[in-house]
Structure 1
Amino acid sequence: MLQHDRRRIGIIEDDPIVGQALADRFELEGYAASWWSTAQDALDRLAADAFDLVLCDIQLPDMNGEQILQRLNEAPGRAPVIFVTAFAEIEQAVRLVKAGAEDYLAKPFDVAELLGKVSSILERSDRPTGALGRSRPMQQVEALLRRILDIDSTLLLTGESGVGKEVAARFVHQASKRAGQPFVAVNCAAVPSELIESELFGHERGAFTNAHAQHRGYAERSGDGILFLDEIGELPLAVQPKLLRLVQDRVFTRVGGERVQPFSARVICATNADLEQRVREGRFREDLFFRINVIPVSIPSLRDRPDDIEDLLRLYVDQFATMFGRGAIALTDGARAAAREHVWPGNVRELRNRVERAIALAQTTMITEIDLFPDLTSQSTWSAAGPTSIIPLADRRKVLERRHIEEALEKTGWQIGRTAQVLGISRTTLWEKMRKYGLADRPR
């Protein structure tokens, strides 16, 4: 019998033969297995006790996969979930993985494959987590990135400017088997168009005026590591065929050269642009888009992960206090509250810049809200503790309204009609507000 320190496996399966067989097999493998035939019985037990992994049928008599995952996601630190699905439900299973499930298996499945997935997931769950943030959205991003750390498929990171796409790319590098190899970052928007081909692929001596020596480009310098192409949407059309060859055939040729050079690095691309729209406009090659969009990962905006704000504040306060030789610097309660309520249109980059400015100009060892938000806190009032600044009422109303709508949507399982009824507004009004606050495109 294999020993797994009696890791606890929960099985949710309405077929008594399949459910009992799975429970018996897990017990034989050394796990402690519990089996429930209804989703509600399982949820009641999972809420009261800790399990290491849950194996769940996608269709049960009392709930479907989306409903079960929604309930499980409400509990902090929930166990990873593997869904079991019929072939016709594969599309639904993929949506569940994007919503936070760990993996899925299509029926009929091989028990050895299932055991392998369980062992792999439990091994990953033993690793430290929270490297990218403590919020659930970033935990989900980290879990997805950990699943694809050591494969060579191209990764496309998307998200608004400043959300931390390069941070995610560096996490993949540092946590993968390529950690000891180079990480070469290229901002495609920052390199002049007439130089981008030479910078990416290198050139031979005499390839053009002033090419006095051979030059190794970013692709060659990345070796067996990672080539990170930021702002990939800004890559000139003329260079895109050569990048397609690099990604597809794993070879390239230096400018002015004839010898084909091998390429062995993993490519990670990032963009804040709508590449599909650029394809339609003829500004980005469709074949290149499909080649780099093998594994798309969306990095959520900071306003969608408020639980990360305080940790980021503390990180950058400590970093810049040390850099500027300011000693220990603390944040007031007002500064933390104002930061949590701010919408952060510039995301993590804006937060970092605000902290850097606050530390650089600080005259005391305390950072207040007026230090972080001098542009939004020109109005001030007096409290028993002295003068404090306040965010303009219009800004505070927007933040509170967005938060209240999001909480209502979460509690109703993102049912628009039910949420509108609870809030006492029409479906049309609710939908307009969801679009205004960036909630309309949120994953359900």
Structure 2
Amino acid sequence: MTDRPSVLVVDDKENMRHLITRILGDAYQVRTAEDGGRALSLIQTQPFDVVVTDIRMPGADGFEVLKAVKQHAPTTEVILMTAYASVPKAVEAIKEGAYDYLPKPFDPDEASLVVARAVERKRLKEQAASLRRELEGIYSFQNIIGRSAPMRALYGLLERASQLDITVLITGETGTGKELVARAIHHDGPRKDRPFIAVNCGALPSELIESELFGHARGAFTGAVETKAGLFEAASGGTIFLDEIGELPLSVQVKLNRTLQDKEVRRVGDAVARCIDARVITATHRDLKAEVTAGRFREDLYYRLNVFPVHLPSLRERREDIPLLAMHFVQKAAKTYRQPVDGLEPDALRALTGYTWPGNVRQLENAIERAVAITTGSRVGPDALPPEVTGGQQGALPVDHLVKMPFREAVDLARDRASRDYLIALLREFGGNVTRAAERAGMERESLHRLLKRFGLRSDDFKESP
């Protein structure tokens, strides 16, 4: 058994079959067929990742081979070769489902690159096709989606947290889904039929936070025309989720600490203590230990909240989840906007997985929602994605984003961005001529091809149309 991609080469000329076999080398499993009839037999009996076939052959020609491949194995990519290359022929072949075409004679590097791109396209198509099956719940906890190792570890923590009536502190970067996780813990636990009250501590005016959380008595302050129960009382029997807990003023932190300790609240302006039965889940994107050191967060409250810590990984730490999440958001947005969109084009999927997503899952969802809204076909293409995702005019990296990363990761990100920008400028300078671009860059053509593939760039996209 081998995991090398399989390629079928079909040509009635033996020297051409040998040439292509040598070009593909040891990187592929190569089978050959001397005519279309033999190719049709092989296609029926074994799978291929790519079929490279001549157009003009005795018996079944390249178009018949293409048709047979698409009927029997729709995800297999087909590349047509012809010594009679023309734009109409190329258009006809692509309309019939061919991935690309090679005019004879062709450059060996060009042939190798086209086959490599076709193999990658097939892999992405199969990956996209499997996402819908995976979204059936195999890789999820409640409404949280992911199959990466960090997410599988997270699911184990959440399952334990949901069954233990324990205070949970959720940490992670902005946009990682802290409220979604809090809701998942609540809805998977014994309190699921009781209220879930979410409070964004950073969004409440400082003068109203205490009243909102703990309630107030009539006449407790100007404007308190009637007695009001606080959100802790409203969450009785259920869960109260305090998001952005690091934004609480120190004065309110004191009262919250006492509430958690005594399991009771005193409304503002009222001496009567009222027992509460609300599970507390908190979340923050701040480093609370650093906040304690800086004197902005009470140490006793920190330890009372940090009973069961749960850290959410950033999206760049679980890149393999991006396709699954993207497909989920496509389905969600298509339903919301009643759009007939049911998937992602391979090039769009490649762009999504190659981007760093500083805004994490929230940014990904917003990008997909916009893309679905403006897509006119059945699949989201790269042109529907934001320019920063596809590499268009990204601009300088914001310092406030870089400082949130470890040094090595920030340097790698900056280097990758600069490398991609350089390659784009280089290809524009030489109109997609890889040979001249490689000379300017001071590297071998093969090395430049590998870089272009890594950054999802195609030299053809920079060539002037005939």
Give the TM-score, by structure 2 length.
0.53
**Does 2:287 correspond to 1:274?**
yes
**Does 2:160 correspond to 1:142?**
no
Matches within 5 A, 1:18-417: 130-131=140-141, 132=144, 133-377=146-390, 394-395=416-417
Correspondence for 1:31: none
Whether contact under 8 Å (1:329, 1:366) holds in the other structure is yes
CA deviation string 1:255-295 (max 9, x = no partner) = 11111011111101101101111111110000000100111
One-letter identity of the residue aligned with 2:375: A
CA distance in 1 between counterparts of 2:163 and 2:270 reads: 32
User: For residues 396 and 348 of structure 1, do their structure 2 counterparts lie closer, same or farther at Cα, with a shift above 3 Å needed?
Assistant: farther
CA deviation string 1:354-385 (max 9, x = no partner) = 111112222333211232232344659xxxxx
CA distance in 2 between counterparts of 1:275 and 1:351 reads: 27
Whether contact under 8 Å (2:214, 2:268) holds in the other structure is yes
Query: What SS does the corresponding residue of 2:257 show, helix, strand or coil?
Result: helix
CA distance in 2 between counterparts of 1:394 and 1:298 reads: 27
Q: CA deviation at 1:189?
A: 0.4
One-letter identity of the residue aligned with 2:140: G
CA distance in 2 between counterparts of 1:206 and 1:145 reads: 43
User: For residues 215 and 128 of structure 1, do their structure 2 counterparts lie closer, same or farther at Cα, with a shift above 3 Å needed?
Assistant: farther
Structure with bigger helix share is: 2
CA distance in 1 between counterparts of 2:282 and 2:335 reads: 32
CA deviation string 1:115-134 (max 9, x = no partner) = xxxxxxxxxxxx97632321
CA deviation string 1:290-311 (max 9, x = no partner) = 1001111111011111121112
Whether contact under 8 Å (2:351, 2:389) holds in the other structure is no
CA distance in 1 between counterparts of 2:230 and 2:309 reads: 26
CA deviation string 1:304-337 (max 9, x = no partner) = 1112111211111111111112133321001111
Whether contact under 8 Å (2:333, 2:372) holds in the other structure is yes
Q: CA deviation at 1:247?
A: 1.2
CA distance in 2 between counterparts of 1:138 and 1:196 reads: 34
Query: What SS does the corresponding residue of 2:334 show, helix, strand or coil?
Result: helix
User: For residues 374 and 393 of structure 1, do their structure 2 counterparts lie closer, same or farther at Cα, with a shift above 3 Å needed?
Assistant: farther
CA distance in 1 between counterparts of 2:380 and 2:418 reads: 20
Count of residues in Structure 1 that have an aligned counterpart in Structure 2: 261
CA distance in 1 between counterparts of 2:419 and 2:354 reads: 10
User: For residues 229 and 336 of structure 1, do their structure 2 counterparts lie closer, same or farther at Cα, with a shift above 3 Å needed?
Assistant: same
One-letter identity of the residue aligned with 2:185: V
Max Rg structure: 2
CA distance in 2 between counterparts of 1:396 and 1:322 reads: 38
Whether contact under 8 Å (1:341, 1:396) holds in the other structure is no
Whether contact under 8 Å (2:341, 2:377) holds in the other structure is no
Whether contact under 8 Å (1:202, 1:215) holds in the other structure is yes
Unaligned residue ranges in structure 2 (runs of 5+): 1-136, 394-413, 421-466
Q: CA deviation at 1:396?
A: 9.0
Correspondence for 2:15: none
Whether contact under 8 Å (2:352, 2:389) holds in the other structure is no
CA distance in 2 between counterparts of 1:128 and 1:375 reads: 32
User: Quick one: percent identity of the two aligned structures?
Assistant: 46
CA deviation string 1:344-363 (max 9, x = no partner) = 11100110111111122223
Query: What SS does the corresponding residue of 1:315 show, helix, strand or coil?
Result: helix
Matches within 5 A, 1:429-444: none
Unaligned residue ranges in structure 1 (runs of 5+): 1-126, 381-391, 399-444
Q: CA deviation at 1:188?
A: 0.5
Give the TM-score, by structure 1 length.
0.56
